[in-house]
Chain A
Amino acid sequence: MIPSSFIYKRAGSAEEACDLAAEYGEEAKYLAGGHSLLPLMKLRLAAPEVIIDLGGLRDLSYVTDQGSYVAIGALTRHHDVEHSDLLARELPLLAHAAGQVGDPQIRHRGTIGGSVAHADPASDLPAVLLALDATLVARGTDGAREIGIGEFFEGLFETVLEPGELLTEIRVPKPAATGWSFQKFTQRAIDWAIVGVAVQGRRVALVNMGGTPLRAATVEAALADGASSADAAAHAAEGTSAASDIRASREYREHLARVLVSRALTEASSRA
């Protein structure tokens, strides 16, 4: 399969990337690792006229300790998130979940920023970052702004990023509550999650239970009221809008959400 024709531009800096995006307008699309966008382009489900390759922006690949939070460059690959000693120490949920994305080859190319900006509700890291209450930093032609992850996702593959705005950094606060868990149920090893669950302390987020990654708000409220893990998990499907598709029905996903949230809360408690 071959993508439809496009013009390829390689950006040498974040500034140049934004300038190119401004020049080409809505016909242009940023390409990070390319492991979400290129498959869509090969299937002709996406056909941008201009590709702005961010692969040369090495200065946006980093993991640094900023005291109360860890800053992660948007172009940091899943492989580097998975193997970061700093993340293993401070944010083991994120390091572990990054190691569950796709397969080794995909993790050698795919980036954390690309995954978040692509906003596929079936992707692992958007929900993980929701559970971790991350803040995203985006840069446009008018300067930089911070966006709370709770406000970032608007719908299926839709975010609040403006055309040409570039996600540059993900800031993840060091969690006060240490217990964590990541559960992912797939049919085959490298599939997207049918359902996934990320837990950090009492924050619970769901993969693939609606058009965006979701907080399991009723579960969190039950936990705050002192409910047991099992009782809280019974609420896992409330407020969700899972799709029925070739892999699973909505009812199956709702059942799976309850089972996986229960397992995740139990595992998180054991690590607290």
Chain B
Amino acid sequence: MKVDLTVNGKEITADVEDRLLLVHFLRDVADLTATNIGCDTTSCGACTVLLDGESVKSCTVLAAQASGHEITTVEGLASNGTMHPVQQAFHEQHGLQCGFCTPGMVMAIVSLLKENPHPTEEQVRIGLEGNLCRCTGYHNIVRAALAAAEVSS
């Protein structure tokens, strides 16, 4: 079937299998490989992207469902060579260890801060319950989220 998605501001039209998952569309069709496939069971959040500005797990959305909608991946956050405040905060707070969960964490935090620009630490921790860090490096990830909120205020 034909799908038509806007990914990071660019329209992508492709003929794909009806059963193609959004994460495979992003990685294999759009050639945007920053979005990782972790658990593949809607649990770990590594594949989190924004669908019309809200965080979703792209392993549990069909490309067909996303047709006609706007997708943002971590590749789409920086503008003119300047990192997004959440990316910058991850850099400054050392919010990553192995880096596998990072794209999903960043996108989940971008969505979280959009809904709640000034979260408490507890709200950040609860807001990230859908994202697992296999290095258990949560403290600096939470610090990065709070630092990004501070910078954006």
Contacts and interface: CB of A to CB of B under 8 A. Distances in A.
B130 A106 contact: yes
Nearest to B52: A108
Contact of B21 (A2, A10, A35): A2
Interface residues of B, number: 31
Contacts of B126: 189
Interface residues of A, number: 28
Interface in B1-42: 1, 17-19, 21, 24, 40-42
B127 A104 contact: yes
B51 interface: yes
A118 B59 CA distance: 20
B45 interface: yes
A5 B18 contact: yes
A8 B130 contact: no
B40 A42 contact: yes
A190 interface: yes
B120 interface: no
A105 interface: yes
A35 B60 contact: yes
Interface string A222-260: 000000000000000000000000000000000000000
B62 A38 contact: yes
Contacts, number: 78
B24 to A, nearest CB: 8
B19 A4 contact: yes
B56 interface: yes
A34 B108 contact: no
Nearest to A35: B60
Interface in B41-95: 41-43, 45, 48, 51, 54-57, 59-62, 64-65
Nearest to B50: A108
B101 to A, nearest CB: 13
Contacts of A5: 17-19
A189 B129 contact: yes
A35 B41 CA distance: 10
Given A3-B19, A190-B43, 8 more contacts: A2-B19, A31-B65, A34-B60, A34-B65, A35-B60, A55-B65, A105-B56, A190-B129
